[in-house]
Structure 1
C-alpha cells in the first residue's frame, strides 16, 4: 500500500515541477495566509497548526523555500515520544530569536531545543564551518555538528556513519546544503552533491527508525523565463530523487505513513 500524499497549497510552486506528475494528492488550501515569510506571526502560526492538526508527524513534508523552514518546528511539536532531530542545512538555524512571539527560519532549531521536552539530540549536517563556529553554545552533548568541511574528508564520513542514535529520528532537509548543480535555492548554498546527500540519508534510513521527514529549499520565481525553467527542473529532479529514496525506505520497513507537501514562496 502506497503512503498518502497531501499537498498544502500556498503558491503552487510544486505544480511547476515534474516530480508531482502521475501522483494522487489531497489538497489543503493555505493560499489565504499572511505573516509567514521568514517569520511566522502568532495568528499565522495558529492557523497553520489548525491546518495540520489532523495529521501525524509521520511521513514526508515538502515545505517550499528555506524561508519557511520554521515549519519543521510545527511538525516536530506533534511528536509525543523521545526523538532526535537530524538537520541537513547549509545554515545551522540556531540564531538568537529576534522576536519572542514569532517563529523564524533562522532560529527554529534553537526554538525546538528550548521548548520540546521530547527532543533528545540535534544533529546538524553540512553547515558552513564559520556558521558552526559561531553557533550558540550551552547545549553540551545535546547538539552535534558535522560541517561541510568535516564531510569533505573520509574521517568525517566515518564519524557520521558510526554515530549511535538511541531513539527515533525526524529528518529535516534544506536543499541549500547542496551545490548549485544539484539544487537552486533562495539562499547561499553548500558543497554536497545530490548523490552525497542521498548517501548520508541512506546511512540514517538503514540504521534508525524514522518518525518523519521534511524537505525545503525551493527557489522564488525568476524574472528570467529560461532561468526559472532551469531552477524548476533542477529542484524537481532533486525532489523526485529524495521522495523516491524516502518512499522506498518506508515501504521496505512496512510503514504506511502520510506524505505531506507544503508549498509557499
Structure 2
C-alpha cells in the first residue's frame, strides 16, 4: 500500500495517525496549499495538471494500491484526476451522500466529477452508493446524467429515497428504467444493506477497482463535513470495502470529507457554492478528533485488506 496525504486545507495533514506515518517515512506528504484557491469546488485544468505532476513525483515507480487522503469534500473532483493515471479497465465504487453527476458546467467541479471520470474510456462503470440528499429529486431539472444510467455505465443506490419524478416535457434517454413518470431506485439502507453487500461483487464488471469515499455519506455523529450528511455507519462502509477487496483488485482508494472552513475568494466559486449546496453555518462543534478517528479506522482497514 502506498499512502499519500495531500495537504490542501490543513484538515488531514496534522491528524496524528497520518502525521506519524509521514514523519516515519512510510507515507508521502504533498503540500498543495498554494493550489487550494484554484481547486476548491472547481478546478482549472492547469491546476489539475499541477496536482498530478506533484503526485507523480512521490508515487512514480512504486508498487501496490494507492491510498490518498486529501481533506474536504469540496475537492472531491480530484478523484477524476486520480483516475487519469490508470490505464486498465476499472470500476469506480463511490460512497457519497451526493451523486456528483450534474452535466453542467462541464468542468472539474465537485458536483460533476463523475462525468469527468466517465469521459475516460477505461472507466467501465461508476457505482454510487449511499445518497440521502435531495439531489435525486427532479433529476432532469438538476442536470443529472440520466444517459449514463440508461447506458449502464452509472449505477446509483441511495441509502433511502422515494422514486424520482420525471418531467414529461423533457426528453428521457432511451433505455432509462422508469415506470410511468417516475424513476425507481433500489434503496440499500437498513435491512437491505447486508444482502446488498453480499451480492455486490456481481455488479462490478472489471478485475480492478478504485474506491472513493466522501465521509459526508456517514451519519453526523461519525464525521463532520462541509456538506449535508447521510445515514451510513462507518462500520457499514468498511464492510463494503472489505467485501470488494476480497473479490477484486483494489488498485486505489481516495478519502475526502474532512471539514475545513470554506474560503471562496472569487465570484465563480461563490456562485457554485450557492447553487450546489445548502448554505451551512460555520461548524462550531469539535470535528478534528472525530474525523481523525474515522480516518484512523479506515487506515487500519486499508492496512488489513490492501496489504
Work out which of the residue numbers 28, 31, 39 in structure 1 matches 2:30. 28
Normalization by structure 1: what TM-score?
0.83
Larger deviation, residues 140-149 vs 21-30: 21-30
Q: Deviations over 1:126-165 (max 9, x none)?
A: 0126434523211222211221122224335413421312
SS at match of 1:191: coil
SS in 2 for 1:151: coil
Q: Which residue of 1 aligns with 2:252?
A: 212
* 3-state DSSP of counterpart to 1:85: strand
Which residue is 2:127 aligned to? Answer: 123
Q: Which structure exhibits the higher relative contact order, with contacts defined as CA atoms closer than 8 Å and separated by 6 or more residues?
A: 1
Query: Is the CA contact (8 Å cut-off) linking 1:84 and 1:119 kept in structure 2?
Result: yes
SS in 2 for 1:171: strand
State how many pairs are aligned: 244
1:166 pairs with 205, 212, 219, which one? 205
Q: 8 Å contact 2:7–2:71 — kept in the other structure? A: no
RMSD of aligned Cα (Å): 2.4
Q: Distance in 2 between matches of 1:155 and 1:192?
A: 12
**SS across alignment from 2:246:** helix
Q: Which has the larger radius of gyration?
A: 2
Deviations 1:152-201 (A, max 9, x none): 24335413421312311100000000011010000000001111211222
Whether contact under 8 Å (1:18, 1:233) holds in the other structure is: no
Q: In the alignment, which of 99, 103, 106 is matched to residue 111 of structure 2? A: 106
CA distance in 1, matches of 2:134, 2:52: 34
1:111 is displaced (CA, Å) by: 1.4
Q: Which residue among 236, 240, 261 is the counterpart of 2:296?
A: 240
Q: 2:85, 2:51 → 1: CA distance?
A: 13
SS in 1 for 2:147: coil
Counterpart for residue 271 of structure 2: none
Q: TM-score, normalised by structure 2?
A: 0.73
Cα distance in 1 for partners of 2:12, 2:256 equals 11
Q: Write the deviation string for residues 25-54 of structure 1: whole angstroms up to 9, x where unpaired.
A: 433232222411100013312211221234
Gap runs ≥5 in structure 2: 161-186, 263-282
